[in-house]
Amino acid sequence: MATEKRRLGNILVNAGKITSYQLQEALKAQKALGKKLGEILVDTKIITEEDIIEAIEQQTGIKKVDLNIINFDRKAITLIPENLCEKYILIPFGFDNNKIKVALADPLNIFAIDDVAISTGFEIESFIARTADIKKFIGIYYSSQQVNNAALQLEKESIKLNRNSKTRAVEDINEVNSAPAVKMIDYMFKNSVELKASDIHIEPFEYEIRIRYRIDGKLKTVNTLGIESLGPLVTRIKILAGLNIAEKRLPQDGRIMTNVDGKDIDLRVSILPVVNGEKVVIRVLNTGASVLRKSQLGMSEENLKRLERIISNPHGIILVTGPTGSGKSTTLYSILKELNDSDVNIITVEDPVEFTMDGVNQVSVNEKAGLTFASGLRSILRQDPDIIMIGEIRDEETAEIATRAAITGHLVLSTLHTNDAPSSIIRLVDMGIKPYLVSTSVMGVMAQRLVRRTCNKCKEAYEASLYEKEILEQDADKHLMLYKAKGCGYCNETGYIGRIGVYEIMEMTREHREAINKGGNSDVIRDISVANGMKTLESECKDLVLSGVTTMEELSTIAMIKKA
């Protein structure tokens, strides 16, 4: 290994990246610490990892590769075991004739190259890549490979059990505790976390089971299994979630707490009987994730100022609206984080508690035990709260108590399922709340959606069509470049990576209150809001399209746009 380190040192000196003196000092540190030379140089900030990559490329001819923008060949992944990849920090990504292309953090390590050559039987074509990128894709691709391998084993065992047992059920406890079922579920949980999935769907059909992940709001099929595997899979999940494995006719809900790569993961399990068996949906909650600040939500400066004014009210109702999965809870938690202080008593009632916050008293709804939003809210009001957060206003009783609490001096935060901000006012009136109570209690309403961010690594620019210019309210003669999603390794071939919030913030004014008291509909309330400076969801999203953050495809999920 010493020869290898001197080689790297000489390369860096010859490339002018370090001096001979710095090399000698680093070699002394290497003997004392037992670390790699490159690590020591980077840790001491003498050079960067990019400097090392550039020097090796210049001096040896070994090409660098950006793993984020290439298409991985899954066959190459199957040839090198994960433990070898982790040992040497390398990952295969393709073939070139009879050579296998391998990206290494240290392509000068001849032992790594020899081991890979012996393991695969292929000649190795070495490339150099960033350590963090290699580790990231090892996590993504090998967790997917583990799921596939476990799925094949589970299918084989399930078919064998079906053939050999006509009297016993496949989902016998001893059978579901067998390695394939256990491994399949464990690897699936790990894989979903690696791919940043928010939900796992296990769906039985006549001849197969489809497994899909919801990533950035879109469902993606990741695996299909024979229908014989359904019993062991569902029963294993039921055991982990503490559910009744014998009950197959009624829906069941449960919870699994697990740890994946040092992260505490809360899995909310929902099982629903369908025609071909039981459908399982698992919500993946990363309880260790940090709560975002308002400034990190992606709001414009104007919207941030509006929100600041609304939450500065000492009492009243502040509503966040939008469909399921639009980020309402994230927004509420960010507001709570801003309001959380030692001189206020904050109590929440949620279903479920998604993030735990220090200094906030959080209550989880338990309808089986009789703890509903309404009953919990009544008890909360006897706890001397300053700020109350209700996970969702679902019925007239909850709405009535929340309104009374706001009028009697409490600041109430909650969510509603409406399409836009003005509609929330009408929804409360429809629930049975008197218009004068609504106009007096509601301080502001924020509607939101999440749209996918275009991947900066692979997005493609194109000239906007006349139809697109018309939709975006741009001059027909104007030269306008927009972006479309393409897909690469960095974004998992989707063309998008992550999401950004689109907001419509309605700040209540005297005109709003007068219109509500007169029975004005949502159109009247919307016109007043726009006249007072509110930007609509559609308008906000158009700005994101024009700035290249998202695409026309994502705009169509918010606005009613016909295809040209």
Does the pLDDT of residue 489 top 80, yes or no? no
What is the per-residue pLDDT for 386? Answer: 94
Contact assessment for residue 391 and residue 413, using Cβ atoms and an 8 Å cutoff:
no
Structure tokens of 133? Answer: 């990128």
Burial of 284 per CB tally in 10 Å (0-12, 13-18, 19+): buried
What is the sign of the dihedral through the CA atoms of 18, 21, 22 and 27?
positive
Residue 260: Cβ within 10 Å count: 18
Close Cβ partners of 513 (under 8 Å, ≥ 6 residues apart):
439, 440
- Please name every residue paired with 103 in a beta bridge, in sequence order, or none if there are none: 91, 127
Q: What is the DSSP string of 101-120?
A: EEEES-TT-HHHHHHHHHHH
Could you count the other beta carbons within 10 Å of the beta carbon of residue 235?
A: 24
Are residues 114 and 159 part of one domain? no
If you search the block for the tokens 């999935």, which residue do you land on?
Answer: 197
Backbone phi and psi for residue 278, each to the nearest 5 degrees, phi listed first: -120, 125
Give the H or E element holding residue 450. strand 442-454
In angstroms, the CA 496 to CA 487 distance is 7
Q: Give the pLDDT confidence score for residue 33 in this predicted structure.
A: 80
pLDDT in tens, 434-452: 999 999 999 999 999 999 9
pLDDT tens column, 19-29: 888 888 888 88
Average pLDDT of every residue of the chain: 86
Query: What whole-number distance in Å separates Cα of residue 445 and Cα of residue 441?
Result: 12
Q: Which residue has the higher pLDDT, 176 or 358?
A: 358
The reported pTM is 0.72
User: Are residue 363 and residue 441 in the same domain, yes or no?
Assistant: yes
Going by pLDDT thresholds of 50, 70 and 90, the confidence category of residue 161 is: low
Residue 93's domain spans which residues?
Answer: 8-130
pLDDT tens for each residue of 69-95? 887 887 888 888 888 998 999 999 999
Whether omega for the bond prior to residue 352 falls within 30 degrees of 0, making it cis, is yes
Question: Is the separation of the CB atoms in 261 and 288 below 8 Å?
Answer: no
Domain holding 343: CATH number?
Answer: 3.40.50.300
pLDDT band at 140 (very low <50, low <70, confident <90, very high): confident
DSSP string for residues in 473-523? T--TTS--EEEE----TTTTTSSEEEEEEEEEEEE--HHHHHHHHTT--HH
What's the token pair of residue 416?
A: 């509603």
Write out pLDDT tens, residues 360-379. Answer: 999 988 877 888 888 888 88
- pLDDT over threshold 70, residue 508: yes
pLDDT at 168: 44
Count Cβ neighbours within 10 Å for each residue of 504-534 and write b for 16 or more, e otherwise. Answer: bbbbbeebbbebbeeebebebbbebbeeeeb
Query: Which DSSP letter does residue 123 get?
Result: E
Contact between 19 and 47 under an 8 Å Cβ cutoff? The reply is: no
- Listed residues 262, 286, 310: the one ending a domain: 286
Over pLDDT 90: what percentage of the chain?
44
**How many C-alpha atoms does 390 have within 13 Å on its Cβ side?**
33
Query: 277 and 391: one domain?
Result: no
Boundary residue ending a domain (75, 105, 130): 130
| Residues 299, 442 within the same domain | yes
Rounded CA gap, 274 and 295, in Å? 43
Of the candidates 529, 375, 346, the residue with the CA atom closest to the CA atom of residue 445:
529
- Whether 549 maps to a domain, the answer reads no
Residue 530 and residue 435 in contact, taking contact as beta carbons nearer than 8 Å? no
In a domain, 370, yes or no: yes
Please give the torsion angle defined by the CA atoms of residues 368, 370, 371 and 374, in that order, rounded to the nearest 10 degrees.
130
The phi, psi pair for 80, rounded to 5°, reads -115, 125
Specify whether 53 is located in the same domain as 182.
no
Q: Token pair for residue 61?
A: 């001819």
Q: Are residues 315 and 195 in the same domain?
A: no
Amino acid (one-letter) located at 514:
E
Together in a domain, 18 and 123: yes
Number of domains in the chain: 3
Exposure b/e, 167-188, CB count within 10 A at least 16 = b: eeebbbeebbebebbbbbbbbb
Instruction: Answer yes or no: is 541 within a domain.
Output: no
In this structure, the answer to whether residues 126 and 256 fall within a common structural domain is no
Is residue 183 one of the residues assigned to a domain?
yes
Question: In 10 A of CB 41, how many CB atoms?
Answer: 27
Same domain, 247 and 344: no
- Residue the block writes with tokens 């209550």: 363
> Which pLDDT tens digit goes with each residue over 269-322?
999 999 999 999 999 987 666 677 888 888 889 999 999 999 999 999 999 999
Q: What is the pLDDT of residue 68?
A: 82
Collapsing DSSP to helix, strand or coil, 376 comes out as helix
180-193 residue pLDDT tens: 888 888 888 988 88
72 and 89 share one domain: yes
Q: Is residue 564 part of a domain?
A: no
548/383 Cα distance (integer angstroms): 48
Note whether residue 460 is domain-resident. no
Residues 265 and 374 in one domain: no
pLDDT of 272: 96
Asked if pLDDT for residue 159 goes beyond 90, the answer is no
Buried b (16+ CB within 10 A) or exposed e, 412-433: bbbbbbbbbbbbbbbbbbebeb
What CATH number should be reported for the domain holding residue 247? Answer: 3.30.450.90
264: three-class secondary structure by DSSP: strand
Residue range 450-463: average pLDDT? 91
pLDDT at 165: 54
What's the pLDDT tens digit per position in 61-72?
889 998 888 878
496: left (phi over 0), alpha (psi -120 to 50) or beta: beta
Reported confidence tier of residue 561, pLDDT bands at 50, 70, 90: low
pLDDT tens per residue across span 529-548: 999 999 999 999 999 999 99
Provide the pLDDT for residue 205: 93
Q: Are 118 and 152 contained in the same domain?
A: no
Instruction: Evaluate if residue 346 carries a pLDDT over 70.
Output: yes
List the beta strands (DSSP E) in 216-370: 218-226, 252-260, 263-274, 277-286, 316-321, 346-350, 361-364
Of the chain, the percentage scoring pLDDT greater than 70 comes to 93
Which residues, 6+ apart, have CB-to-CB distance to 252 below 8 Å? 238, 243, 244, 269, 270, 271
> Among residues 286, 309, 325, which one ends one of the domains?
286
Q: Is residue 35 part of a domain?
A: yes
pLDDT tens-digit readout, 199-221: 999 999 998 999 999 988 889 88
Number of Cα atoms under 13 Å in the Cβ half of residue 452: 24
Residue type, 262: G
Q: Establish if 172 belongs to a structural domain.
A: no
CATH code for the domain in which residue 67 is found: 3.30.300.160
For 23-57, the pLDDT digits (tens) are 888 888 878 887 888 888 888 888 888 888 888 88
pLDDT at 3 over 50: no
